[in-house]
């Protein structure tokens, strides 16, 4: 039988990579001055809690979908497969780690403290030993996580199962915040956006996150052909776990969900400006004449612009979509004789799908050379 | 703690369906006279052997991809996850069964007898207790399977790991065949087609199969947007496990791989004819005139036609692709004065991607009314 | 030189079909009891007025896009290309006719009476000689059209260029209506929907139309991969010009624009019911249990359902999208013990994108057998 | 009536851009050292010869498809629409010019000298007055073109209508070549590739061209979603008509057809190298170990690599497709102990779809840092 086993090992040596997704689809957002724009997902499950896939699949998915970093965060207190899979809380991370290193995916150790509301579900990432987080008291679990150096997040704060009527902030969250045990909040979880979470992030200096909370394969949960999983953009000094943690602790993030970004204007404004390039052809705009401007968008997101203030001396489209990786034609029509003497035409828009606060979009100015 | 667990159960009650693929993409092939055309995959792995997903995912995938029946066939002798998952050989089937019943997917119990070559890997499906197939001798394992009523298949006969130079038929396969322990053969496995297997199926009366042998999620292994997993079409009297077994035992199948079908002309010919509809518009074809014919293909496969014999009295395109779910225009040009008196114009093609033997395509005749 | 020309003709004989779109994408809507569902576009331009393509292209486009009938309706009073193309108003129809006959596209002769508002632009189709419609007075032009047997439509009644502030009904339209010179109204033109037009169609017994008003090639104006041009569905007794005219005169139409249909519930209700098929698997629904229902939609449109009234004894998704050519899973959960004795479960929805009046959707009932 | 016309002009002022394709899909190929990579199509028809669209449509299409320059080259001797369109040979260029200037498309004046074989069809571009090319003798027409400064191309040399059996070089082509009246040759025309033309281009120092020869709208002739029209890549010093002519006269081009490029290795080699970026992750490759290499392709073309020579000390995939805008994982496996001391691993491939001569692909070396 031992010989038999050896034979089998040889037979299957080359199987290890079977079924591998061989191509990586990069996510295109420009870097910001001084920072790399890293693409991260900090909330992921496997068969080791109530997920449906083996841990290595999470690394393969992350690689194929263009991510830089992920955290596997299996539930600590909820393990419906434990009859078949009795392993400990560090195991899913350990299984995934070798492949992550080979593919250059940054794998962050984490676990999900899974309680009824309040305080609901909390993710602790950058921890050292998840087993020690299995505590009777959720407060003790959070303290243990912090002692291990954790970044702690309140997950899906508006989840209907736990907050069926209203998305509330509880005293227990204040207690966590004041004890330094709450660093971030999921503004987006799975396919849900929580406007209250964005407001609290702004008011209470919490870091904005968008995570997938994926249980099944990503390909059956999200439309990866046309869209992407929820992603936290992290503006980090380097591509390393330490730099990601430093950026998270200093709130340098944005939440990327479907065709929207949620974040502070300090990051969304330079991201937008680095994404677009304006190309002005002949001739100089004159009264009663039309001039075509090409606006190229090198990012993966369609920017949806809406005029804030009419320009003086010319009219432009009140609505304008700058499609991803396309050049969009913008028509402007002169309405005064003076316009031909203006060398720098300004258009005042807001970007409807770059959201800085609930109900509030990013204002931008497009400047066009007229010559 | 008991109360706590109860709370958790309630919290997660509604989670069971999270991440569910909510839409089923039907596979469109016509039924044949007297038979339903069922879509099946009889070779599938889960985390319980060397696969990467939980068994219920296999049911969800099958439902979403339009299948009627699947068999989960985890390796019996090769279980690299057994350190974490020590359960028995029937467990993956049992976990998947309740969801299969709810979604109307026919789930067939099976296992893969996994040996070095010869005889390589053999699937036994329609068995009752997979645990009893764990035997020192592969021949004994096959006998046990037969005693349980199994349909037995030789899997991926040309797999490079086991047959690196040539795809050979070994004495051990003759021994199995003569003992009534070999019923079918995979002409297609994963993304590989084995022409030798098609030849042997024809010569030795083995049933033709196309199976996925899927280990990872189907969505990362196959291009489900534009294509499909390998599928065995089963021409069954009813949609039931018994009818599927009866059809398999009587060789009423075809192998569906990418844009090709492999099978006996007794099934491919009526399948093609039931797929196409010919629409002839005015005017009657005359000498030196062009007539447009619309040929509609209601199946999911593009039929690639190549002229076998020129027609008399008119010319037609020597190559013609009938795209799936499209009407293709076929131009015919009169080359004799007599053609206007012919009421039934015949075009002689072969369908290059309907394959009845290695190197041999299905011949067909398109008949066009001329009036 | 004569010989030279003969050579050229031979050289180009086979060119006539170059650049031909060889495939037709059928538009899938079910027929209604007693009526065929024909797909039509009654407002189309060519280079003979201010369009950009040769008339035969309009036939090729119609064939490739799955239409049954079109009308070329070049402007009578506006011909910006007349310096280069001085031909008369019947010419574009005559050039397109032979190809239409060969491809089985019903080509209806028409012209667009093109005036300032009121009355704006009016289409006259089913006319015999468009040249006679070139009259000083638009009223005389309409009378001439009626004398020729025309069906007359008010085009794009809310066009911003002519009605910049509000979409108004003018006395001149009442005058036309009372004189029997107004039969239909464009509820959809190009990419615009005019709710006022839908209201007027209902109030004044006008026929509902959706037309493309296409000037450039359809492929650069509409997204033909994912969507379609605006189309008038005509519920006709036969596939003939006479039957189309009879159906138009009797208001048996619906307007198909993007993912919406506008029309009378007498036609939208049977269209929806003929599009969906409900498949109920085991087991019978019981209290606290979940049952999955498959709902298949065989049409090209995604139906967006919204619950009108909660059902008794069970809950179901308040929102449900039945994707085109997909089977969607509908989960229902028992909430009473009696539900297992109900053999016919009823779900009350409205179909948000089937619109019978401004702001009013089609109500439907889905009935599910419970056994 | 004059007042009436004025009204109409105002009504339609804003119509001029209706139906406009508003987005430009850029074509992504890197620039070469010292040269811009411009995308051009030098063979295009309109309704002014036997094409099907108005000249402005050709500019809109070029802009939307990411081109830098086009030439409209209507047939001089073949004008089947002349009964309806009697205008002269310069007219189509003149109609298209204003829009080209506004959109920044370089529009080159041209005409197609259209004769039976030999010499067949010849394009003269960069001419000043096309009317003067209407001559009894094709040789005189070419001389006139040259006197106007033309670049002259032999079009579709293997066109079946003119060369039904073999693609032959005739004495008349030698005569043109020796008189300095033949500069380039279409290696690709419409959807046909002519290997003889590539051979002659290499042997006789002719410029390699790929042109669309488009007659209908591009969107119905080519699959613009997934592919592109045939394009001549021009490696020009500047983006100007003069620089394009200089590059054409000096053979700095490549032919881009479907997923293939045809050209001189002097241009294809740096184009490939500028397209790919190699990313090597940890760990250093050792014997019996696997190392994953990410190879990113920033161009629009999938590069299909085939191993020419096995590497020493490690194995790699013999076939490798570098998909456009994707990072592909390349697995290498150590097969010797010395490999860990090699700091620069070399892989020897040829790029099967970069073609430098009939049957001959571009050889390349991928260099991987091993540390």
pLDDT in tens, B170-225: 999 999 999 999 999 999 999 999 999 999 999 999 999 999 999 999 999 999 99
**First-to-last CA distance in chain D?**
83
DSSP state of C31: P
Domain CATH code at residue B355: 2.60.40.10
Residue D120: closest CA among chain C residues belongs to which residue? C11
Write out residues 113-142 of C within 8 Å (CB-CB) of B: none
- Token duo for residue B112: 């893969």
Q: For residue B262, give every residue at least 6 positions away whose Cβ sits within 8 Å of its Cβ, in sequence order, or none.
A: B187, B188, B193, B198, B208, B210, B254, B255, B355, B356
Residue-level pLDDT at B34: 97
Same domain, B201 and B55: yes
Q: Which residues of D touch C216 (CB under 8 A)?
A: 19-21, 57, 60
**Average pLDDT for residues B33-47, to the nearest whole number?**
98
Task: Give all chains having 3 or more CB-to-CB distances under 8 Å with chain B.
Answer: A, C
Is residue B331 within 8 angstroms of chain C, CB to CB? yes
Determine what percent of chain B is predicted with pLDDT higher than 90: 87
Query: Residue D168 falls within a domain, yes or no?
Result: yes
Interface of A with D in 265-294 (CB under 8 A): 279, 281-283, 290-292, 294
Residues C241 and C298 in one domain: no
Stretch A211-220: mean pLDDT: 95
Q: Establish if D224 touches chain A: CB-CB under 8 angstroms.
A: no
CB-CB neighbors (< 8 A) of B64 in chain A: 220
Measured between beta carbons, the chain D residues lying within 8 angstroms of A331 are 17
**Below-50 pLDDT ranges, chain D:** 1-20
Closest Cα of chain A to D187: distance in Å?
Answer: 30
Lowest mean pLDDT among B59-63, B77-81, B337-341, D168-172: B337-341
Any CB–CB contact under 8 A between A22 and chain D?
yes
Look at residue C162 and give its three-state secondary structure.
coil
- Of C206 and C280, the structure prediction assigns the larger pLDDT to C206
- Amino acid A290: pLDDT: 86
**Is the pLDDT assigned to residue B3 strictly greater than 80?**
no
Q: Per-residue pLDDT for A26 more than 60?
A: yes
Report how far residue D232's alpha carbon sits from residue B113's, in angstroms, rounded to the nearest whole number. Answer: 57
Decide which of D230, D263, D296 is a domain's last residue.
D263
pTM for the model stands at 0.93
Is the domain of A223 the same as that of A361?
no
**pLDDT in the model for residue D253:** 98
Q: Does B155 touch chain A (CB under 8 A)?
A: no
Task: Tell which C residues from 296 to 315 touch B, by Cβ distance under 8 Å.
Answer: 296
Q: What is the pLDDT of residue D282?
A: 66
Q: Which residues of B touch C323 (CB under 8 A)?
A: 23
Q: Which of D105, D50, D354 is nearest to D208 (CA)?
A: D354
Is the per-residue pLDDT at B8 higher than 70?
Answer: no
> Does residue B4 fall inside a structural domain?
no
ipTM confidence: 0.91
- Within this chain, do residues D79 and D163 fall inside the same structural domain, yes or no? yes
The strand pair at C276-280 and C260-263 is best described as unpaired
pLDDT for res B283: 75
User: Shortest Cα distance from B176 to chain C (angstroms)?
Assistant: 39
Domain end marker among B263, B291, B319: B263
pLDDT over 80 at B12, yes or no: no
How far C355 CA lies from chain D's nearest CA (Å)? Answer: 27
Mean pLDDT of B93-100: 96
Residue D15 lies in a domain: no
**In chain C, residues 92-111 whose CB comes closer than 8 Å to chain B:** 101-104
Q: How near does any CA of chain D get to the CA of A321, in Å?
A: 10
Q: Residue C279: its chain B contacts at CB < 8 A? A: 104
Residues B238 and B217 in one domain: yes
CA pair distance B238, B241, nearest whole angstrom:
9
Residues A198 and A280 both lie in one domain = no
Q: What percent of chain A has pLDDT over 70?
A: 94
Cα–Cα separations (whole angstroms), residue C177 to C121, C139, C181: 15, 11, 6
- Whether B110 and B180 map to the same domain: the answer is yes
* Pairing between β-strand A69-72 and β-strand A106-114 as defined by DSSP bridges: parallel
Query: Are residues C293 and C210 located together in one domain of the fold?
Result: no
Beta bridge partners of A327: A296, D24
pLDDT in tens, A66-77: 999 999 999 999
**Cβ distance B232 to B155 under 8 Å?**
no
List of residues 6+ apart from A41 with CB closer than 8 A: A62, A67, A69, A70, A71, A211, A212, A214, A229, A230, A231, A232
Mapped onto helix, strand or coil, the DSSP state of residue D363 is strand
> Is the pair A, C in contact (3+ CB pairs within 8 Å)?
no
The residue from A239, A263, A287 where one domain ends is A263
- Each residue's pLDDT tens digit, A334-354: 999 999 889 889 999 999 999
- Same domain, yes or no: B99 and B233: yes
In this structure, the number of other CB atoms found within 10 A of the CB of residue D252 comes to: 22
DSSP bridge partners of B72? B109
- pLDDT for B298 equals 96
pLDDT of residue C112: 98
Give me the CATH number covering residue A63: 3.20.20.140
DSSP state at residue B14 = G
Q: How many domains does chain B have?
A: 2
- Do D192 and D301 lie in one domain? The reply is no
Set of chain D residues whose Cβ sits within 8 Å of the Cβ of C56? 52
pLDDT tops 90 at residue C351: yes
Query: What does the pLDDT read at residue B223?
Result: 92
Q: Tell me if A11 and B116 make a contact (CB, 8 A cut-off).
A: yes
Contact yes or no for A56 and B52 at CB 8 A: yes
What is the model's pLDDT at position D87?
96
Residue B7, in any domain of the structure: no
In a domain, D122, yes or no: yes
Q: Name the most confidently modeled range: A314-318, B5-9, B131-135.
A: B131-135
| D abuts C (3+ Cβ pairs < 8 Å) | yes
Q: Is A363 helix (H, G, I), strand (E, B) or coil?
A: strand
Residues B233 and B306 in one domain: no
Confidence category of residue A282, pLDDT binned at 50, 70, 90? low
Report the neighbours of C using a cutoff of 3 or more CB pairs below 8 angstroms. Answer: B, D
Range of the domain at B336: 276-369
In percent, the amount of chain B with pLDDT more than 70 equals: 94
Q: Give the pLDDT score at B282.
A: 66
- Does an interface of 3+ CB pairs under 8 Å exist between A and D? yes
C370 confidence band (pLDDT: 50, 70, 90): confident
Is C18 within a domain?
no
B98 in the same domain as B195: yes
Contact C219 D214 (CB under 8 A): no
Separation of alpha carbons D353 and D201, rounded Å: 18
Read off the pLDDT of each residue in A318-328 and give the average, rounded to a whole number. 95
Assess whether pLDDT exceeds 50 at residue A3: no
**Nearest 5°: phi and psi at A290?**
-110, 140
Measured between alpha carbons, how far apart are the two ends of chain C, in Å? Answer: 83
**Using CB atoms within 10 A of its CB, is residue A236 exposed (0-12), middle (13-18) or buried (19+)?**
buried
A8, A20, A43, A84: which to substitute to probe chain B, counting the most B Cβ within 10 Å? A84
Note whether residue B184 is domain-resident: yes
Q: Is residue D8, in this structure, part of any structural domain at all?
A: no
Give pLDDT tens digits for C153-190: 999 999 999 999 999 999 999 999 999 999 999 999 99
**D22 in contact with chain A, both atoms CB, cutoff 8 A:** yes
| Residue D271 CB neighbours (<10 A) | 23
Q: What is the mean pLDDT of residues A280-294?
A: 84
* Total residues found in chain B within this entry: 371
Residue B280 — very low, low, confident or very high, per pLDDT cuts 50/70/90?
A: confident
Q: CB–CB of C281 and B103 under 8 A? A: yes
D300 or B344, which is more confident? Answer: D300
Chains in touch with D (≥3 Cβ pairs < 8 A): A, C
């Amino acid at each position: 039988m031992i010989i038999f086993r050896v034979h089998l090992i040889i037979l299957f040596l080359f199987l290890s990579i079977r079924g591998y997704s061989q191509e990586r689809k990069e996510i295109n957002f420009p870097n910001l001055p001084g920072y790399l724009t890293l693409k991260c997902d900090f909330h992921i499950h496997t068969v080791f809690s109530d997920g449906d896939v083996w841990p290595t699949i999470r690394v393969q998915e992350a690689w194929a979908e263009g991510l830089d970093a992920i955290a596997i965060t299996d539930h600590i207190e909820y393990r419906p497969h434990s009859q078949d899979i009795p392993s400990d809380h560090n195991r899913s991370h350990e299984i995934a780690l070798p492949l992550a290193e080979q593919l250059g995916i940054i794998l962050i150790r984490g676990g999900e403290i899974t309680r009824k509301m309040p305080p609901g579900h909390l993710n602790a990432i950058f921890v050292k030993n998840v087993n020690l987080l299995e505590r009777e008291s959720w407060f003790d679990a959070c303290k243990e996580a912090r002692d291990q150096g954790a970044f702690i997040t309140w997950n899906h704060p508006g989840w209907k199962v736990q907050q069926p009527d209203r998305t509330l902030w509880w005293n227990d969250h204040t207690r966590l915040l004041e004890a330094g045990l709450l660093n971030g909040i999921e503004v987006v979880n799975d396919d849900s956006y929580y406007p209250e979470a964005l407001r609290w992030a702004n008011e209470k200096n919490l870091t904005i996150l968008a995570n997938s909370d994926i249980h099944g394969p990503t390909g059956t949960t999200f439309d990866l052909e046309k869209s992407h999983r929820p992603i936290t953009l992290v503006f980090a000094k380097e591509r390393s776990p330490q730099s990601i943690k430093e950026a998270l602790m200093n709130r340098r993030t944005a939440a990327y969900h479907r065709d929207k970004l949620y974040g502070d204007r300090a990051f969304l404004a330079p991201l937008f400006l680095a994404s677009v390039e304006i190309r002005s052809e002949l001739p100089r705009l004159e009264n009663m004449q039309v001039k075509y401007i090409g606006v190229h968008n090198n990012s993966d997101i369609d920017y949806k612009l809406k005029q804030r203030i009419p320009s003086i001396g010319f009219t432009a489209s009140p609505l304008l979509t700058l499609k991803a990786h396309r050049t969009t034609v913008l028509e402007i029509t002169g309405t005064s004789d003076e316009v031909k003497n203006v060398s720098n035409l300004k258009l005042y828009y807001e970007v409807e799908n770059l959201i800085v606060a609930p109900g509030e979009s990013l204002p931008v100015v497009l400047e066009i050379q007229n010559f």
